[in-house]
Amino acid sequence: MYSSIGYSNGHHHHHQPHQQERERMGGGLTSHKDRARRGGRRSRDSLRASEHQQQQQQQQQNDRKPATPCTDFDVAYFHSYAHVGIHEEMIKDRVRTETYRAAIIQNQSFIEGKVVVDVGCGTGILSIFCAQAGAKRVYAVDASDIAVQANEVVKANNLTDKVIVLHGRVEDVEIDEEVDVIISEWMGYMLLYESMLGSVITARDRWLKRGGLILPSYATLYMAPVTHPDRYSESIDFWRNVYGIDMSAMMPLAKQCAFEEPSVETITGENVLTWPHVVKHVDCYTIQIHELESIATTFKFKSMMRAPLHGFAFWFDVEFSTPAISPANNHIPPVVVGSSNSHPMDGCQKKKRANPNEALVLSTAPEDPPTHWQQTMIYFYDPIEVEQDQLIEGSVVLSQSKENARFMNIHLEYASGGRSFVKESVMR
């Protein structure tokens, strides 16, 4: 379930003090099973679901901008989600699946007798949870061929009167009524990898009623500097003595292969040198698609200990909040209960939640129980020795690749102890 570390090719530069150095990374994401992960599960099919409010829906369709074209990358992406292994891994992630079920139960009063859309339904498990919670109707939307199996699962559980499986992109399928609830497990590695949040936004703008509920309601991406001597020793120092043979000539290549790409792996709180920095806070009620094209932040950390700095870790959490008062329109978030009312601001450092019991949170932080998302690591080719209280500062830009919006370009600049660096990579 939790992968072992993967490697790729790259190019190594020896670092010199007091100069700008560039470490370019060209490959893609590495993970334990080289698996595909999250995104807008879409296809080119266009299906009609209900005849209710047809005239109103037709007017909305006339006013709506044309759907984003489905690219060859999208088709390949959707095809990857037809494989049962991906869905098995996600469902077996008990932290993920049980948190979603708890959120549905917690919000049962907002689901019972209401209309729900499940964006990227996969096998249909969340749709069925919603039906079991008393939803009047659930539209389970998925562009992957897994929708065929989802429909069979719905039939096997005698829920065809409640759950309607739509095989198609959210941008293309037709639902001729407004919905009360949107539920989606859209998060990718590093939160935004594979760009499925855009499909949730599209569903929100097309169908969500004023004051409707979105689950999860908020998401936050974090980063922090980390030390990981064991990982470095395992991948690099191994070559110093191999069965009594000096293979240190292999070390430059080993660094390229081990650290060129972002790596999805599990670390612990002991690896983290500082409180995390908030890269991006996402309000699912107000976020717009264009905001996902590029996300930038500057950071300044102060190391809590003396240790070698090996890179930066990224992780996220999502919050499931309960609406209390309906807003005037879909793009104003409802007043919520069970929310901390102190959502982290972009660019700030975050310690602990003021009261972790106030909201239901799914966390992928190093100190919390592991999930299939693990953490995403950006490693340096060579560690930087830092002293306690030494500053580590810089900036990071996460942008959608022009080649394929589901890929993520990462531009990282960092400096400490009089040395500055630039590292660029692509998660593909």
Catalytic residues: 185, 194
- Sequence-distant (6+) residues with CB within 8 A of 132 are none
- Sequence-distant (6+) residues with CB within 8 A of 73 are 404, 406
- Cα separation, 319 vs 216, whole angstroms: 6
CB 119 within 8 A of CB 140: no
- Cα separation, 2 vs 372, whole angstroms: 6
Please list the residues that pair with 315 across neighbouring strands: 222
Report the chain's terminal Cα–Cα distance, integer Å: 21
Residue 103's H or E segment, with its range, is: helix 94-106
3-state secondary structure of 119: strand
Residue type at position 230? D
CB 394 within 8 A of CB 299: yes
Please list the residues that pair with 422 across neighbouring strands: 22, 413
Please list the residues that pair with 182 across neighbouring strands: 117, 214
DSSP class of 185? -
Angle at 145 between CA 141 and CA 150, to 5 degrees: 60
Tokens coding 356:
């972790």
DSSP result, 263-275: EEE---GGGB-S-
